[in-house]
A and B are shown apart, each in its own frame.
Chain A
């Protein structure tokens, strides 16, 4: 009698290569075709880029060296960067209660019923699908030009994005503690407070910091449509053909983005340890 393990050890022929099946090849063909269509519709042309490189070079040459005069540019830039940071900060933190409530209703494991689940999911989808720039334009008409419109725009859009991300994190939470508290008579809100949120807290904070990072960069763009901050200065510099000033603002933005990234990375590491 021969055992199965002996058969395995005595086989010397190599397994045959697994070539892509016709179905896989067809799938790759479809993906390539979609890319070709996308390139045509976006006028994608490396030739145009090669021909126009001198225009870019002129633009960069005018921006270098950056105007680093303290009173004229740098101080103004730093003050505007602080406004941008504050727009991003408030846009993130003020959306936390709304995102948390909607996330709890939009997670299958914690929702109070099908109607609440569908309503919360729909609301989050709506808030997520309206770009923050559009929200900013709407709020500018209500509260005028300035950073407050930017804060409101980010609160609305970020509630949609963060609520969705948090709902997914909550759905992936270990069901054990939830089950244990249900057995001990806890209500749905108590289960969320004492079993779900504490279990996934590191993920929730990690996503919050990620959104803070994104929102600081978004608030730059919001500045371009009149919501204040350093984006507004960049827009002004371009309109006045002061590319050296623009470059200074971009350098300040670079420092700001790196600082925010380092800070959120540090906090994430501390939470994880």
Chain B
């Protein structure tokens, strides 16, 4: 099992966000996590990579307990978090900083040739080898997110987490990013992506997990997830009718 989360609890200022979440993800599996804003989706991922400390529960990545700053999981973010003035290749190389000696890591000029070659392969894997020299700020949002995925690949982690990776992207770019993530699961990575688009989750993921009130309310194969399941996560579609004042 690549990722095993057991009885995970987390609260903020007395408000329980995660109330005993259990989730197992196997190598080669692409799990989409759905749920309304504030349901705790992102908190799960942030606990796995050590950006938040759980109140209780266990997180194992490749059977090793996840520790802050030393988790064996890589992550991509909704806001991408690349350095815009640096090239795509230099950004991807920073995914490997954790295994570089300090004297070879303080500047892109010092990065070993082998690392640059590996970063190039990661860029090639996400279809952006031809953009390696481009400053990231000149790339489109979808391309930037794929560079962020390449950086996560350069981490060589067995688990890849994606926190709303397509929320800020147009449908075409979102499709490309999710195709890349599904492809990486096909390569043997355990991929967990928080999404807000049930239709994309059904299309690309191997499994759909839905969170409601801090607990897992849905855990099923995409074809088994019904509209009623989605409604149980987000509420009925549409907004209450607006009353218009009469003159």
Contacts and interface: CB of A to CB of B under 8 A. Distances in A.
B86 A193 contact: no
A6 B244 CA distance: 10
A190 B105 contact: yes
Contacts of A193: 105-107
A2 B243 CA distance: 10
Interface string A154-184: 0000000000000000000010110111111
Interface in A187-230: 187, 189-190, 193-195, 198-199, 201
Contacts of A187: 97, 102
B125 interface: no
B49 interface: yes
B65 to A, nearest CB: 16
A173 to B, nearest CB: 10
A182 B148 CA distance: 14
Nearest to B74: A184
A21 B50 CA distance: 50
A177 B50 CA distance: 16
B83 A190 contact: no
Interface in B189-247: 243-246
A20 to B, nearest CB: 38
B5 interface: no
A5 B247 CA distance: 12
A177 B105 CA distance: 16
B104 to A, nearest CB: 11
B244 A181 contact: no
B95 interface: yes
Contact of B69 (A5, A6, A180, A182): A182
- Choose among B79, B97, B99, B102 the residue with the greatest number of A CB atoms under 10 Å from its CB: B97
Interface residues of A, number: 25
Interface string B100-115: 1010011110000000
**Secondary structure of the A side of the interface?**
helix
Contact of A177 (B82, B95, B152, B155): B82
A157 B75 CA distance: 43
B97 A194 contact: yes
A40 to B, nearest CB: 53
B242 to A, nearest CB: 9
Interface of A: 1-3, 5-6, 174, 176-177, 179-187, 189-190, 193-195, 198-199, 201
20 contacts: A1-B243, A1-B245, A5-B245, A177-B83, A179-B81, A180-B82, A180-B151, A183-B49, A183-B71, A183-B75, A184-B74, A184-B96, A184-B155, A186-B97, A186-B98, A190-B94, A190-B97, A195-B83, A198-B86, A201-B85
Given A177-B82, A181-B97, 16 more contacts: A3-B244, A6-B245, A176-B80, A179-B77, A180-B75, A182-B51, A184-B94, A184-B97, A185-B70, A185-B98, A186-B94, A190-B102, A190-B105, A193-B106, A195-B94, A199-B83
